[in-house]
Amino acid sequence: MRTIKVGMIGLGTVGGGVVRILNEHRKNFLRDQGVDIELVKVASLDVEEAQKLGVGDIFTTDGFDIVNDPEIDIVIEVVGGTGIARKFVFAALEAGKRVVTANKAVMAQDFYELLELSGSKGVELAFETSVGGGIPIIGALRNSLIGNRIESVLGIVNGTTNYMLTQMAEHGSDYDTVLKEAQKLGYAEADPTADVEGHDAAAKIAILTTLAFNTEVVLDQVPTEGITQITPLDIANAKDMGYVIKLLAISHRTPEGIDMRVHPTLLPCSHALASVNGVFNAIFVVGDSVGETMFYGEGAGAGAAASAIVGDLIEVSQRIAYDITRPYIRFGTEQLPLKPMDDVVMSYYLRLPVPDRVGVVAQTATAFADKGVSIERMMQYPAADGSGNAELIFVTHPTREGDLKAVVAEIEKLGMLADEAVLIRML
């Protein structure tokens, strides 16, 4: 049996984890899984990092050295992003190499093109790492749970924002403070946009939706709201009502189509996701036969992602070593419509900073009544910012989102807002 030759593009924390696992466990993989996996080339811009990891002798700065190396069977892509990394993935498949990738952005954007290419070239594209870090959620949806008609996929899929929201909840810190902290600890990148604006979570729910509902969706179709507007004030208000705020990625099958979205969400403290803290991820899957299942683990961090990469690597290596073909699996055979965000029905938390003057509450409440939006509870208290304004907090009964937005627009039109309205969806 021949040795499987692997090239890895990217040598950051995840790449470093993969190097460590292969160093430590290569002999066991040969003994127990029947595959001898050799890392023959690594590409990165950081030669010092490579030397530190003991791979300075198989180092190149050009990822295409790996893509074009005829000796290499499998390309691991852990660069990330849709720039050069996307080119590496396409080029590697074009060159007839198997690809193992952690790249959720590319998978969520180019899913069908990549699967098509991988099918036509007869080489596998493995992407367990793209969602949930070390949590084997892709494998579960593609294999063990395949007998189910999936009804819902829902969870916390971004470790960076979950760490930040946890810190804000536990220490009352504001957004900017926890962002700096997260950056210092390596949990957030220098440019945190993809995480804090929800794009990373949106990519993941697009991938999960594609697999769970067997329908064709891409990243751009996910209504997405990040956590940049979340304040300690709203977290404290939520807490007073017995709720926490989490960034959820959601996808439900409904009679009107797939209800898919990413947004901060007020969760009752008793909900299982409410106690998922720090960089941990947790994903619920509800199927018609299996009922409710949940998968939990570290969503970020070198070890968790490297674990998933190596899981894929061994599976793909076995297919090469034992000449095993994987049956072509069809995706997107159900073309389900997407439910427009305005038609989604939820409860809402709405905070309106208003001038503290006679008649404001009456006028505001009238705006709700006019649009037929029913209020479950309401509070008013003086704003803590010394502005002399008041904070009006509304929690609605389940309401069509379009109707609630009409209420807010009406209140704004009446000139009653002293500052921007804050709207957070509830579960």
Residues forming the active site: 204
**Is residue 102 within the footprint of its own copies (CB under 8 A)?**
no
Give the span between the Cα atoms of 318 and 154, in whole angstroms.
32
If DSSP codes are grouped into helix, strand and coil, which group holds residue 356? coil
List 70, 255, 327, 359, residue binding its own copies (CB under 8 A) = 327
Total binding residues for its own copies by CB under 8 A? Answer: 62
List 209, 265, 307, 389, residue binding its own copies (CB under 8 A) = 307
C-alpha separations of 278 from 158, 170, 271, 395 in Å: 10, 11, 16, 27
Give the span between the Cα atoms of 240 and 221, in whole angstroms.
35
E-strand ranges in 278-421 read 280-287, 291-298, 345-355, 375-382, 389-396, 399-400
Contact 211, 270 (CB under 8 A): no
List 184, 325, 335, 358, residue binding its own copies (CB under 8 A) = 325
**Is residue 170 within the footprint of its own copies (CB under 8 A)?**
no
Pairing of strands 345-355, 422-426: antiparallel
| Residues 341-400 close enough to bind its own copies by CB under 8 A | none
> Closer to its own copies at the Cβ: 256 or 288?
288
**Is residue 330 within the footprint of its own copies (CB under 8 A)?**
yes
Contact 132, 204 (CB under 8 A): yes
Fill in the DSSP letter of residue 338. B
> Closer to its own copies at the Cβ: 31 or 357?
31
φ, ψ dihedrals at 235, nearest 5°: -65, -40
**Is residue 25 within the footprint of its own copies (CB under 8 A)?**
yes
- Minimum CB distance to its own copies, residue 297 (Å): 4
**Is residue 144 within the footprint of its own copies (CB under 8 A)?**
yes
List 328, 342, 369, 398, residue binding its own copies (CB under 8 A) = 328
- Minimum CB distance to its own copies, residue 311 (Å): 4
Fill in the DSSP letter of residue 2. P
List 110, 124, 128, 401, residue binding its own copies (CB under 8 A) = 128
**Is residue 290 within the footprint of its own copies (CB under 8 A)?**
yes
| Residues 27-56 close enough to bind its own copies by CB under 8 A | 29, 31-35
**Is residue 100 within the footprint of its own copies (CB under 8 A)?**
no
List 10, 15, 16, 287, residue binding its own copies (CB under 8 A) = 287
Give the span between the Cα atoms of 109 and 329, in whole angstroms.
19
Half-sphere exposure of 416 (CA within 13 A, CB side): 25
- Minimum CB distance to its own copies, residue 281 (Å): 10
C-alpha separations of 314 from 38, 100, 318, 409, 424 in Å: 11, 10, 6, 55, 43
List 16, 136, 192, 226, residue binding its own copies (CB under 8 A) = 136
Site residues (CB under 8 A) for its own copies?
17, 20-21, 24-25, 29, 31-35, 128, 134-136, 139-140, 143-149, 214, 272, 275, 287-298, 301, 303-304, 306-311, 313-315, 318, 321-322, 324-330, 333
